[in-house]
Amino acid sequence: MRAARRPGFHGALAVTLLLGGCAWDAPMSTVVPRSDFARDILHVYGIVTWVAVGIALVVGGALAWVIVRFRDRPGAPRLPAQTRGHTLLEISWTIAPALVLLVIAIPTIHVIFRTQAAPPRDALEITVRGHQWWWEFRYPTFEVVTANELHVPAGRPVALTLQGPDVIHSFWVPQLGGKRDVVPGRLNRLTFTADTPGEYRGQCAEFCGVSHAHMGMRVIVDAPDAFARWVAAQKAESAELAGLAAEGKAIFAASACVGCHTIRGVSSGALGPDLTTFGSRHTLAAGLLPTTVENVTAWLKNPPALKPGAKMPALGLTDDQARAVATYLIGLK
Amino acid sequence: MSDEPRGGEHATVGTYVRVALVLTVVTALEVGVIYVRRLAPIVVPLLLAMSAAKFALVALFFMHLRYESRVLTFLFVGPLILASGLAVALMTLTGAFLVFGR
Amino acid sequence: MSAPSSGRALHGHPSALPGAETTATVLGWLTTVDHKRIGILYGVTGFAFFLLGGLEALLIRLQLAVPHNTVVSAHAFNALFTMHGTTMIFLAIMPFNAAFFNYMVPLLIGARDVAFPRLNALSYWIFLAGGLLLNASLLAGTPPDVGWFGYANLTSKHYAPGPGVDFWILSLQILGVSSVIAAINFIVTILNMRAPGMTMMRMPVFVWMTLVVQFLIALAFPPITVGLIFLLFDRFFGTRFYDVAAGADLHLWQHLFWIFGHPEVYILILPAFGIVSEVLPTFAKKPLFGAPVVIYSGVLIGFFGFGVWSHHMFATGMGPVADSAFSIATMLIAIPTGVKIFNWLATLWGGTIRTTTALHFAVGLVGLFTIGGLSGIMHASPPVDLQQTDSYFVVAHLHYVLIGGSLFGLFAGAYYWWPKMTGRLLGERLGRLQFWVIFAGFNLAFFPQHYLGALGMPRRIYTYPADVGWTAGNFASTVGAFGIGVGVLLFIVNAWQTLRRGAPAPADPWDGRTLEWRTSSPPPAHDFDAIPPVYGRDSFWREKYGPRRGAPATESHAPLHVPAPSHWPIMVALGMGIAAVGALTHVSFVVVGVLWTVWSLFRLALEHHRAQAHADQTGGLGLDHRKMAMWVFLGSECFFFGTLVATYLAYKGRSVVGPAPHEILNIPVTTISTFDLLMSSLLMVLALAAVQRGDNRQARLWLLGTAVFGLIFLGFQAYEFTEFVHQGFTMQRNLFSSTFFVLTGLHGTHVAIGVLWLLSLWVLARRGRLGVGDAVKVEIAGLYWHFVDVVWIAIFTLVYLIP
């Protein structure tokens, strides 16, 4: 099921086209494939790019040459030959593009069916639910629920089922493949096998309201044993708390927080992200900021100030209270 | 001057009345057919065919297309066919034909 | 002003103003029905909106120039890109195209005006109403902020509670009406009013492209009209069309939108292709290479343009079969487009090219559209598109085809036809400078966006982080955008300077090939002193240099008729505007607006009826203009009702709660009303036959009879609706109720309009004002009536009978 590897091809493509190969290794780059899905796509992407660039150079070159060669200058015929057409030429330049398109069409159809085939039976099933403006991830097999940071094992097929309780969103992690819309009322599927452990960035790609720009996500591809450890950590009992963290937990449990958020053993709100292992995530508020005490504190004090339209209101916490809760949340690993 | 159809052909009042009669009969048949259980498996194509026939009769005779320039037929039938094709495509894409099978 | 006249006395000499009517007053412009003046109105109005849309673009680019910028808020940014897109498409490019259609098409085909000059004015004023309404949302502080394609269910009342989306819906509907009326007008004009000897294949390519565009408009707008009606009803009346909980399919909106949206992009580009097909031959001094092939390609593009819409939906999960089908269809469309480009190249090859500004822009289009078209081919492959769609890559693509394509083509047309329209030449040196500034600015603004997209920058985001590598590309793009702004300013300077002090233009400044160069610059009010002879394609060139195909038809010296100005078009548009404002404020204004509109339409129609010169409107094909127009309109209505019926059937069986059709529809009673409507058609043909033989008594009898039968049908429908409501089956009940009431309700509205029409004809007959010469007016009422009957035949079967 894996695409034929053509490293030389992609290398040549990167260098030739892109005037600086390193520039393409940006976090959201669409031409740095880290899964079978992404590789399959890049295979076709390379073909269409070569074709497009080639045609552009030929046509552009011909255009420039024609203007220069036949411009009106002393000695040019006052009335050039009034050629009306040439049937053979018309036929040729109708058939030629058709053949070129065939070169694009065949791998296209092939990859469409391959990448949309039903996932293998050993695929890890994950349900993705897109909300305004955060991502919910559920692992039915493990009974784990988390948000905004998706962990997947390397080398094992992952079958995402995309659902939406509110508006249309789009799940896009470029280095792991193309995007797929989250459409309320429908179940869409996205299947891929990530090959390289690492952290990958994604973002919602269908305009979904005020903070569409702030609906990011992180995908952590773990080596199989690291993934198993992560799953275990998700289900583990929380440690006993002391000091500021215990204070923060008390404030949390007594505040409106419990109406929206779930922390296993503490609260069971279902309107906002599950925070049971919030501290283990590298970013908060759907990839908005790195998870540090300062950032979490600022967020807790006034979410809409950082993320316009955020449904989480400012709860009127004092600086100290916010810091306490932040310490508690960051400790939730 | 007033419009004379090309070719001098013209539908007579008699033709119109006959068409109206056929339309009545076919309508009655359409309504009748849905109550005949034995026709149930083919009732959909049957109804479509009958209403298409009525559609054609009104267009050809009442709307005079049979006697008119081909340009007018093209101006109407072209979009009609295109619209029908798009309607079928839309229904297919939204999964309507799965419903028809139930 | 209200006294009817059969025309106005002619003044044979052109005056200094374009359009050359003798009344150069404000009132003259408000009541003009002259295609040249209407063209200028479209051009100037479009330009004002273009500047507004450009300002919106510059604000967008300023906000995105650096990461985490704070020039505008997220709310404002989302409104900006919504308004920018909607404005540029509907209020800038389309009116610019309309400006050229209006001014040039009659001249190019050797006609003196369009088929329906007052409807032509009506289209303009309705367009203005729509454009003002959309921008009124800015004044109200509630612009729409859902993107120019407003995907459901983000546009629902729940997720977009303010009036912004309502402004957007209402203005788009109004703009749609304007466009479709104009489309019918131009189709009849082009088919029926060509000078003798001008066969279809001898028409200039710009006219061919215009013809294709008008068909696209007439057929593609109905689906979006229906989609917007669904959204309007959901928001205002609580129907369920886009209500997921009720079983709706959110893809429905996308399908309806893009069934319109894709032909719309061809509506935007084909006129530019037409302009280039005129400009290149003129300045290369040789004919368009492969003109018939270029024409056929345009027709094929238009036709197949209806078959590719879901290539905008490759990421939505339609399944591999649908993806593949639309992918292949999209690639196929690239072929005729490529063929055009090759033919343009071959036109230049071997020519003697005069590098005027118009030529610069035309050549610019060929190059830039090639780039835009190639990125389009990349998008045609779904796997690749899954990375590119909804990213800046597609933003780059669309701007290459819309600016590099449409706008450059329009500038070419502006420089080319400016002397004809104004009697002055635009400055060439400033023009060439303007070209290079815009060319450089444009490429700097949009080429980097391909890279931004490839680096994963999604579209419609008001800000971005600093650590994703998007900063440099965005900054460059912003600089380029301001370059475009400078280029536009240079055009304004050029236009301003030359309007006053530019070199006066002769009739034929470019040694042109087509008929418009045969008359003065600007043309007289009546366009041509005598209808020009047609010697073949590029007729004027042949007249000057040969070869001439056969003797031209004898020059027509029939009495010239210049249609009288009218204030009813602006009144109709005003009424529509009031009704729309009422929908946003208070229902009393809706009532006032509707009554005002209907009254003004009546007066407009009566004006036509009284003008004796309008008795004969037979064109070159031997067909009456009005009859042809009605058939085109009915073709458009096939799309309107086809969409409604398709939605009904698509949603059948998807309702989450009952009742189902067979539980509530009353077939026996509806059979009677069906029979009644069928018989009314019989009465209608009897009425027409009576009018045609001058039998006023019988005409009155059958006209009234038809109207009465129509009222009976409406009575049955009223009974049915009230029964349903009593049983708790309201419009809001479920998907079935929503689709049922809207479909049959809109059909009933059509019947009601028909009844009003028939009663008006009856009243005219009673007053002895419906003679044999007016038979065609009864005929077209009949065509409308029979069509409404035929739609009911379909509805009766598909809604009531089919299990």
Where is pLDDT greater, at C605 or A7? C605
Q: What is the DSSP letter of B39?
A: G
Distance from C-alpha of C669 to C-alpha of C662, rounded to nearest angstrom: 14
Provide mean pLDDT across the span C443-457: 97
Residue C554: band (very low, low, confident or very high) from pLDDT cuts 50, 70, 90: low
How many CB atoms lie under 10 A from the CB of residue A319? 10
**In chain C, which residues have their Cβ closer than 8 Å to the Cβ of B86?**
223, 259, 306, 639, 642-643, 646
Rounded CA separation C332/C130 (Å): 36
Q: Report the alpha-carbon angle A133-A134-A138, nearest 5.
A: 150
Summarised one tens digit per residue, pLDDT across range C261-301 is 999 999 999 999 999 999 999 999 999 999 999 999 999 99
Q: Max CA-CA distance within chain B? A: 57
> Binning pLDDT at 50, 70 and 90, where does residue C7 land?
very low
Q: Please determine, for the modelled complex, whether the ipTM score is greater than 0.85.
A: yes
Minimal-distance CA residue of chain B relative to C802: B44
**pLDDT value of position B7:** 41
Asked whether the beta carbons of residue A112 and residue C327 sit closer than 8 angstroms, the reply is yes
Residue A46 and residue C383 in contact, taking contact as beta carbons nearer than 8 Å: no
Q: For position C24, what pLDDT does the model report?
A: 76
Residue of chain B with shortest Cα separation from C257: B90
β-bridge mates for residue A137, sequence order: A128, A146
CA dist., res. A171 & res. C288, Å (int): 48
List the single residue in B51, B58, B96 with the smallest CB-CB distance to C650.
B96
In percent, the amount of chain A with pLDDT more than 70 equals 93
| Whether C557 is catalytic | no
- Comparing CB atoms, the residue among C310, C775, C797 nearest residue B47 is C797
- Paired tokens of C406: 């449409």
Q: Give the residue carrying structure tokens 């109200």.
A: C140
Residue C676 falls in the annotated catalytic set: no
Closest C-chain CA to B52: C794
Shortest alpha-carbon distance between residue A245 and chain C (Å): 31
Please pick, among C86, C277, C498, C514, the residue that the annotation labels catalytic: C277
One DSSP character per residue, A218-273 reads EEEEEPHHHHHHHHHHHHSPPPP--HHHHHHHHHHHHSTHHHH-EETTTEE--SS-
Q: What is the mean pLDDT of residues C204-212?
A: 98
Which amino acid, one-letter code, is at A298? A
Inform me whether the C-beta atom of residue C394 falls under 8 Å from chain A C-beta atoms.
no
Tokens at residue A39, please?
């590789």
CB distance C374–A104 less than 8 Å?
A: no
**Distance between CA atoms of residues A200 and A171, nearest Å:** 13
Mean pLDDT of C308-337: 97
Residues C787 and B64 sit within 8 Å (Cβ to Cβ): no
Residue of C nearest to A62 (CA): C345
For residues C287 and C721, give the distance between their C-alpha atoms in angstroms, rounded to a whole number.
63
A86-105 burial, b for 16+ CB within 10 Å, e for fewer? eeeebeebbeebeebbeebb
Distance CA(A226)–CA(C450), nearest Å, equals 37
- Measuring CA to CA, which residue among A153, B1, A329, A175 is closest to residue C616? B1
The reported pLDDT for the residue numbered C212 is 98
Q: How do residues A1-43 score in pLDDT, each as one tens digit?
A: 333 344 434 444 544 455 444 578 899 999 999 999 999 999 9
Name the nearest CA neighbour of A103 among A54, A57, A60: A54
Say whether pLDDT at C601 is over 60. yes
Interval C775-792: pLDDT, tens: 999 999 999 999 999 999
* From C776, C793, C794, residue closest to B3, measured CB to CB: C776
Residue C744 in tokens: 């049959």
> A 41-60 residues with CB below 8 A of C?
41, 44-45, 48-49, 51-52, 55-56, 59-60
**Is the CB of residue A199 less than 8 Å away from at least one CB of chain C?**
no
Structural tokens at position C474: 């965005």
What's the confidence (pLDDT) of residue C560?
61
Residue of C11, C157, C251, C459 marked catalytic:
C459
Rounded average pLDDT over A50-78: 95
B-C Cβ pairs (cutoff 8 Å, strict): 169
- If one compares B62 and B6, the residue with the highest pLDDT of the two is B62
Please name the residue of chain B whose CA is at the shortest distance from the CA of residue C792.
Answer: B55
| pLDDT tens digit sequence for C501-525 | 889 999 999 999 999 999 999 999 8
Are C585 and C166 within 8 A, CB to CB? no
Residues of chain A positioned with their CB less than 8 A from the CB of C374: 52, 55-56
Q: Per-residue pLDDT averaged across C465-477, rounded?
A: 96
Phi-psi region at C658: left, alpha or beta (left = phi > 0; alpha = psi -120 to 50): beta
pLDDT at B4: 44
Contact at 8 Å (CB) between A92 and C290? no
User: Do B and C count as touching (3 or more CB pairs closer than 8 A)?
Assistant: yes
Q: Is C562 helix (H, G, I), strand (E, B) or coil?
A: coil
Under an 8 A CB cutoff, do A206 and C151 touch?
yes
Residue C750 has pLDDT above 80, yes or no: yes
Name the DSSP class of C560. P
- Rounded to the nearest integer, the mean pLDDT of chain C is 94
What are A248-291's pLDDT values in tens digits? Answer: 999 999 999 999 999 998 999 999 999 999 999 999 999 999 99
Q: Cα–Cα distance between C787 and C782 in angstroms, integer?
A: 8
Six token digits for residue C384: 């690749």
For CA atoms C101, C104, C108, C114, give the dihedral sign: positive
Give the residue from A239, A259, A249 showing the smallest Cα distance to A321.
Answer: A249
Q: How far apart are CA A146 and CA A123, in angstroms?
A: 19
Query: How far apart are alpha carbons C129 and C167 in whole angstroms?
Result: 12
Q: Are B68 and B6 in contact (CB under 8 A)?
A: yes
Q: In this predicted structure, which of C125-134, C233-242, C536-545 has the lowest mean pLDDT?
A: C536-545
Question: How distant is the alpha carbon of residue A322 from its chain centre?
Answer: 31
pLDDT at B10: 75
Per-residue pLDDT of C566-598, as tens digits, reads 999 999 999 999 999 999 999 999 999 999 999
Between strands A124-131 and A134-139, the pairing is antiparallel
CB atoms within 10 A of CB A121: 7
* DSSP per-residue letters across C121-146: HHHHHHHHHHHHHHHHHHHTT----S
- Give the three-class secondary structure for A110: helix
Place of tokens 């409107």: C617
| Peptide bond connecting C153 to the previous residue in cis, omega within 30 degrees of 0 | yes
A301, pLDDT greater than 90: yes
Whole-number percent of chain C with pLDDT over 90: 90
Q: What mean pLDDT comes out for the span C458-485?
A: 97
Instruction: List pLDDT tens digits, range C666-719.
Output: 999 999 999 999 999 999 999 999 999 999 999 999 999 999 999 999 999 999
CA distance C110 to chain A (A): 23
**Interchain contact, C390 vs A59, CB within 8 Å:** no
